[in-house]
Amino acid sequence: MFDKLEDLLIRFEEILSELQEPDVVNDQNRFRKLMKEQNDLTPIVEAYKEYKTCKQAIEDSLVMLEEESDEEMRELAKEELNDSKARVEELEQELKILLLPKDPNDDKNVMVEIRAGAGGDEAALFAAEIYRMLVHYAEGRRWKTEMISLNENGIGGFKECVFMINGQGAYSRLKYESGVHRVQRVPETESGGRIHTSTVTVAIMPEAEEVDVVIDEKDIRIDVMRASGNGGQCVNTTDSAVRLTHYPTGIVIYSQTEKSQLQNKEKAFRLLRSKLYEIELEKKQSEEAAARRSQIGTGDRSEKIRTYNFPQGRVTDHRIKLTLHKLDGILGGDLDEIIDSLIAADQAAKLANMNEE
């Protein structure tokens, strides 16, 4: 591990030097690439420098204990020694986590697809609540949201909803929301007062750039049509809605949220690229099944990940057996405690897997 850290420290110094060169400053692509690499390495380098400082402090304290006869100075050296040893242990763990392989998609924006599952209108109503929960969470982190497509059920619920979240590191935190979200409550549509169980499926897809997925025009059929449902006078009276059909996969994308056909077409292609990219990621993950089994589930849509129990006011994440009695806050977008716990559990599982290897 320490050989690798020394190499990264050397690379960090090289980057700082390169960033001062006029040729690099004038080459925006190279400059941005180096800046990103610098940002990625900074937390590792800072932790490693502190680690080396603490190791030196341990050596200095040991020398002082050997040479110093004054009792008060010896006590100070012992205190410094104990503090430095404790910090070294903490930093070793931090460095192991910082050196874990990083998901290349972590810094990407995300496409979020929410679908009502079992439970009819009640599932659709809860799908709208999950949408609002994720939007509130995004707003709390100052990320921007943008609706791609929406299919409502007429009473305020969402049969299906696709929207985008733009923000640094959005995928690194929201990928843990993929899976089946289950709600247990007395439905607004139920007069008998019985508790029903309904489900909502959430898929979190990293936004794919054109370089990630190449779409052959021969594989696509583009249809334009008049938008339906709620909208302004322009939306419903012009052929602004766009439907893409991707022949090789059978994927159909429908976008009608914008007044402009061009904007709807652009949104549809962005969603299609993300769906095709997700298919490629799933293929890769299935090839690395052994490694994936050791991690917290972050992508299987059929996996029941969380239950929202209204009578008891609790939320339980089944992957890490975490139960919190703060239902209203979580549905209001207060997801950090759950997501931080999932990240910590995922890191612990990966570290354990590395130690076994």
Of the pLDDT bands very low, low, confident and very high (cuts 50, 70, 90), residue 289 is low
User: How many Cβ atoms from other residues are within 10 Å of residue 93's Cβ?
Assistant: 11
Q: Give me the phi and psi of 229, to 5 degrees please.
A: 85, -160
Q: With a cut of 50, say whether residue 6 has pLDDT above it.
A: yes
Residue carrying the six token digits 């995928």 = 171
Closest C-alpha among 265, 257, 266, 209 to residue 235: 257
Burial per residue of 105-123, b for 16 or more beta-carbon CB atoms within 10 angstroms, e otherwise: bebbbbbbbbbbbebebbb
Query: Using one digit for the tens of pLDDT, what is the confidence trace for 43-66?
Result: 899 999 999 999 999 998 898 888
pLDDT at 299 over 60: no
Q: What pairing do the DSSP bridges indicate for beta strands 158-166 and 179-185?
A: unpaired
Report the alpha-carbon angle 74-78-79, nearest 5. Answer: 120
**Which strands form 251-255's sheet, in the order they lie side by side?**
220-225, 241-246, 251-255
- Position with higher pLDDT, 86 vs 356: 86
- The contacts of residue 180 (CB under 8 Å, 6+ apart) are 117, 199, 200, 201, 202, 301, 302, 303, 304, 305
Length of the chain, in residues: 357
Pick the CATH number of 217-284 from 3.30.479.30, 2.60.40.1190, 3.40.50.300, 3.30.160.20: 3.30.160.20
Instruction: Give residue 288's pLDDT band: very low, low, confident or very high (50, 70, 90).
Output: low
In whole angstroms, give the CA distance from residue 266 to residue 110: 16
pLDDT digits (tens, 9 = 90+) for 74-83: 888 889 899 9
- The CATH architecture of the domain made up of 110-210+289-356 is 2-Layer Sandwich (3.30)
**Cβ neighbour number for residue 142 with a 10 Å cutoff:** 8
pLDDT reported for residue 70:
82
Please tell me the predicted confidence (pLDDT) of residue 228.
66
Q: Where are the domains of the chain?
A: 2-98, 110-210+289-356, 217-284
Neighbour-count burial of 97, counting CB atoms closer than 10 A to its CB (0-12 exposed, 13-18 middle, 19+ buried) = middle
Binned at pLDDT 50, 70 and 90, residue 291 comes out as very low
* 345 sits in which H/E element: helix 336-356
Question: Is the dihedral angle over the CA atoms 259, 263, 264, 265 positive or is it negative?
Answer: positive
CATH topology of domain 2-98: Methane Monooxygenase Hydroxylase; Chain G, domain 1 (1.20.58)
Closest CA to 172 of 107, 81, 78: 107
Most confidently predicted of 138-142, 242-246, 347-351: 138-142
SS3 207: coil
* pLDDT average, residue stretch 118-125: 88
Q: How many CB atoms lie within 10 A of CB 15?
A: 18
Q: Give me the pLDDT at residue 298, please.
A: 46
Task: Tell me the sheet residues that pair with 185.
Answer: 196
